[in-house]
Structure 1
Amino acid sequence: MIPRLPKVIVAIPAYNEAANLPSLLSALLSQARPNFILLGIWVVSDGSTDDTVAKAQSFGHPVKTFAGRTRRGKFYRFNQIAARFNADILIQIDADVLITSDLTLSRLVSRFQKPAPPDLVSAYHLALPPVTGVEKAAYFGFRVWDHARVSLGEKALRYYCEGGLRAFSARFIHQFRLPPFPTSEDSYSFYYAVTRGFKVAFAPGVRVYIKLPSTLADYVRQMTRFLSAPDLLARSFPESVLRRYEVITPWVKITSFFAVFMASPLIGLSYIYLQLIARINKLFYRPRAAWDISPSTKTVSL
């Protein structure tokens, strides 16, 4: 049972996030707290070589900084956070995202204060408007993806479970750990939950913004990881379970593609070109526990 005023810890795994971290921390500190008690904001540096630690330490209480000396990857740092967690709700937010409402945290927490509360709640991840040509092509792909999941309604719950902003119950986080091998960590958390009897929910009114890659190299790097996710998840979960929730079928993809393509055909052709490059690159891809970073996605602003 979640208390009337649950105690909340916000955790930020961070690797070389000095550019965006101060604005994110400021946004988190300005959040309204009508329905929860904020115990702390943890910045967990994964061996950062820039000013990430110094930027975090400049804020003081309730921001607490954990400075890892070597780079071990987000999985390792998330598991460290889970092991230290001692509250009612854990809110994990990536350092390279943007929140624009001062009710973001409150609305996430409110999902746990309803009858039959969930154990994992995901925010609605949206892409910032594009600027460069690569961003416009990537944004085309995001619109196709978003059109597909929106068209499926509640059946598409699995596709909203993204890792930029999520909240976990204490019941879940005391059991859940990310594996020591590469996988799609946001989808892994979803499948872990549904195969072990935990309840998963989506909070469409809680919006978080991500920046799309603005260079070809960053797009290919990021998209290759995305395309590799199904193969990686198949190592951890039965094929029958994966099929049950993989409801964006080829037909849904095609109809969504043409719905977006009709409005932006030239950009759509650019998107196809980038996809071909990413799919060829996937043939040679060998995932690592510490993901390769896409630098052009790290400075986030409207």
Structure 2
Amino acid sequence: MIPRLPKVIVAIPAYNEAANLPSLLSALLSQARPNFILLGIWVVSDGSTDDTVAKAQSFGHPVKTFAGRTRRGKFYRFNQIAARFNADILIQIDADVLITSDLTLSRLVSRFQKPAPPDLVSAYHLALPPVTGVEKAAYFGFRVWDHARVSLGEKALRYYCEGGLRAFSARFIHQFRLPPFPTSEDSYSFYYAVTRGFKVAFAPGVRVYIKLPSTLADYVRQMTRFLSAPDLLARSFPESVLRRYEVITPWVKITSFFAVFIASPLIGLSYIYLQLIARINKLFYRPRAAWDISPSTKTVSL
């Protein structure tokens, strides 16, 4: 049972996030707290070599900084957070995202204060408007993806479970750990939950913004990782379970593609070209526990 005023910890795994971290921390500290008690904001540095730790430490209480000396990857740092967690709700937010409402945290928490509360709640992840040519092609792909999942309604719950901003119940987080091998960590948390009887929910009114890659190298790096997700998840969950929730069929992809392509045919062709490069690159991809970083996605602003 979640208390009337649950105690909340916000955790930020961070690797070389000095550029965006101060603005994110300022946004988090300005959040309204009508329905929860904020115990702390944890910044967990994964062996950062820039000013991430110094930037975090400059804020003082309730921001608490954990400075890992070596780079171990987000999975390792998330598991450290889970092991230390001692509250009612854990809100995990990536350092390279943007929140624009001072009710973001409150709305996430409110999902746990309803009858039959969930154990995992995901925010609505949206892409910032594009600027460069590569960003425009990437944004085209995002619009196709978003069109597909929106068209499927509640059946598309799995596709909204993204890792930039999520909230977990204490019941869930005391059991859940990410594996010691590479996988798609946001999808892994979803499948872990549904295969163990936990309840998953989506909060469409809680919006978080991500920066799309602005260079070809970053796009290929990021997209190759996304394309590898199904193969990685197959190591951990039965094929029957994966098929049950993989409801974006080839037909849904095609209809969504043309719905977006009609309005932006030239950008659509650029997107196809970038996809071909990423799919060829996937043939040679060997995932690591510490993902390769896409630097052009790290400075986030409207």
Could you state the TM-score of these two structures normalised by the residue count of structure 2? 1.00
What secondary structure, in the 3-state scheme, does the structure 2 residue paired with 1:284 have? Answer: coil
Q: Which residue of 2 aligns with 1:39?
A: 39
Secondary structure at the residue paired with 1:48?
Answer: coil
| Alignment deviations for residues 251-272 of structure 1 (CA, whole Å, 9 cap, x no partner) | 0000000000000000000000
Residue 89 of structure 2 corresponds to residue 89 of structure 1:
yes
CA distance in 2 between counterparts of 1:76 and 1:8 reads 21
Q: Does 1:74 align with 2:74?
A: yes
1:91 counterpart SS class = strand
> 1:19: how far off?
0.0
Structure 1 residue 240, shift from structure 2 partner: 0.1
Superposition deviation, residue 65 in structure 1: 0.0
Q: Work out the CA distance in 1 between the residues paired with 2:19 and 2:284.
A: 32
1:283, distance to aligned residue in structure 2 (A): 0.0
Could you tell me how far apart the structure 2 residues matched to 1:141 and 1:68 are?
35
Q: Post-superposition shift, 1:179?
A: 0.1
How big is the shift at 1:174?
Answer: 0.0
TM-score (norm 1): 1.00
Post-superposition CA distance 1:9-32 (Å, at most 9, x none): 000000000000000000000000
Q: Distance in 2 between matches of 1:211 and 1:148?
A: 20
Q: Secondary structure of the equivalent of 1:59?
A: coil
Measured in 2, the distance between the counterparts of 1:260 and 1:129 equals: 15
Cα offset, 1:227, TM superposition? 0.1
CA distance in 2, matches of 1:26, 1:108: 18
- The structural deviation recorded for 1:55 is 0.0
Q: Percent identity?
A: 100
Distance in 2 of aligned mates of 1:3 and 1:153? 31
Output the aligned Cα RMSD: 0.1
- Structure 1 Cα separation of the partners of residues 166 and 221 of structure 2: 24
| Superposition deviation, residue 241 in structure 1 | 0.1
CA distance in 1, matches of 2:235, 2:182: 10
Structure 2: stretches of 5+ with no match in the other structure:
none
Shift of 1:169: 0.1
Cα deviation, 1:281-300, whole Å, max 9, x if unaligned, reads 00000000000000000000
Deviations 1:57-99 (A, max 9, x none): 0000000000000000000000000000000000000000000
| Rounded Cα–Cα distance in structure 1 between residues aligned with 2:250 and 2:258 | 12
The residue aligned with 1:50 is: 50
Q: Does 1:11 align with 2:11?
A: yes
1:124 CA drift (Å): 0.0
Return 5+ residue gaps in structure 1 as ranges.
none
Aligned residues: 302
For 2:153 and 2:40, the matched residues in 1 are separated by 35
The alpha-carbon deviation at position 37 of structure 1 amounts to: 0.0
Deviations 1:205-261 (A, max 9, x none): 000000000000000000000000000000000000000000000000000000000
SS of residue paired to 1:100: coil
Find the aligned partners of 2:97 and 2:40 in 1 and give their Cα distance: 19
Poorly superposed stretches of 4+, deviation over 6 Å: none
Looking at structure 2, the residues matched to 164 and 189 of structure 1 have their Cα atoms a distance apart, in angstroms, of: 13
Matched residues in 2 for 1:9 and 1:61: separation? 13
CA distance in 1, matches of 2:35, 2:222: 37
Report the Cα distance in structure 2 between the residues aligned to 1:212 and 1:274, rounded to whole angstroms.
14
Match of 1:300, SS state, is coil
1:187 to partner: Cα distance: 0.0
In 2, the alpha carbon distance for the partners of 1:276 and 1:18 equals 33
CA deviation after TM superposition for structure 1 residue 114, in Å? 0.1
| Distance (whole Å) between structure 2 residues aligned to residue 26 and residue 47 of structure 1 | 23
Secondary structure of the corresponding residue to residue 228 of structure 2: helix
In 1, the alpha carbon distance for the partners of 2:74 and 2:221 equals: 17
1:24 matched to 2:16? The reply is no
**Matched residue of 2:107: which SS?**
helix
1:2 alignment counterpart: 2
Q: C-alpha distance in 2, partners of 1:210/1:222?
A: 13
Partner of 2:155: 155
1:42 CA drift (Å): 0.0
For residue 121 of structure 2, what is the aligned residue in structure 1?
121
The separation in 1 between residues aligned to 2:41 and 2:222, in whole angstroms, is 28
SS in 2 for 1:72: coil
Query: 1:58, 1:26 → 2: CA distance?
Result: 11
Secondary structure (helix, strand or coil) at the match of 2:4 reads coil
SS in 2 for 1:162: coil
